[in-house]
Amino acid sequence: MVFTGAEITAWVGSFLWPLFRIGALVLAAPIFSASSVPVKIRVGLALMLTLAVAPLVPTPPAVELFSLASLAIIVQQILIGATLGFTLQLVFAAIITGGQVVAMQMGLGFAQMVDPQNGLQVPVLSQFYLMMATLVFLALNGHLILVDVLVGSFQTMPISANGLLPEDFWQLARWGSYVFGGAVSMAIPTIAALLIVNISFGVMNRSAPQLNIFGIGFPVMMLFGFAIIFVTLPSVVPQFSDLVVSNVSMLRDLVTLR
């Protein structure tokens, strides 16, 4: 049996080009891209997903592998995969930002630990919200929905040198405002409640100047903060779920046919 160069190029391309899109998504998407996940596991996951998805991918263009056209296709696949993963990261960034705002209001901004998702120092409260959001995301089968969007992107945005347009990146930048909107909506009940506590301490300080506000204010603010978090925590889950649904809808619109 003799194989021609065109057939070998087609077989290699049918696996190689989807691998770049899937690999970029795995390296950029939340949970998969966590620094606590070894690189070998991420690479193995990308290879397994590619083996499962490759038979479903439309026939790629017959392009020489070592050419400028092939390089353009590879760049587009990396951009598409990285954009899908990074867009979903914005949802988790909203949770982290909201936790930072609440921690600063409570006086816990100095209590920090390493975030395994991004490898950065974040307040412990942000880490608590992030772990909760991760569990909710997995409970909602968000990882499976992300894979479904990825597989569907090969149908609506086939492998070619044409991919994302400048308008798509502007849409992504506009959606980034949801990071701050989601963070504020999550933190506003705690901020409002702690503001009332601060006003109360201000009134106490004016009526009894000899009272050491700094001595009693810090532990009281922490206690009130934890109590408010306990009361408002059930409302955080629906807000996070709405952000995920809105994000997935935006991702599906992003990879539709041009």
Which sequence spans correspond to the domains of the chain?
A: 5-254
Structure confidence by residue, pLDDT tens digits, 94-111: 887 777 778 777 777 666
Mean pLDDT, residues 199-209 taken together: 74
Comparing 85 with 117, the larger pLDDT belongs to: 85
Q: Please report the pLDDT score of residue 109 as a whole number.
A: 64
Q: Please report the pLDDT score of residue 32 as a whole number.
A: 79
36 exposure class (CB count in 10 Å sphere: 0-12, 13-18, 19+): exposed
Q: Cβ(183)–Cβ(101) under 8 Å?
A: yes
Q: Please report the pLDDT score of residue 11 as a whole number.
A: 67
pLDDT over 80 at 145, yes or no: yes
Q: Please report the pLDDT score of residue 98 as a whole number.
A: 79
DSSP track, 127-180: HHHHHHHHHHHHHTTHHHHHHHHHHHHHHHS-SSS----HHHHHHHHHHTHHHH
Q: Which amino acid is at 257?
A: L
Structure confidence by residue, pLDDT tens digits, 210-231: 666 666 767 777 788 788 888 8
How far, in Å, CA of 113 to CA of 123, rounded?
6
Share of the chain residues as helix, strand and coil, in percent rounded to the nearest 5: 75, 5, 20
Mean pLDDT, residues 139-167 taken together: 80
Q: What is the pTM of this model?
A: 0.76
Q: Please report the pLDDT score of residue 212 as a whole number.
A: 67
Comparing 174 with 150, the larger pLDDT belongs to: 150
Structure confidence by residue, pLDDT tens digits, 19-75: 888 888 888 888 877 777 778 888 888 888 888 887 887 777 777 767 787 788 888
Residue 73 backbone dihedrals phi, psi, to 5 degrees: -65, -45
Beta bridge partners of 123: 112
Q: Cβ(43)–Cβ(27) under 8 Å?
A: no
How crowded is the C-beta side of 185, counted as CA atoms within 13 Å? Answer: 16
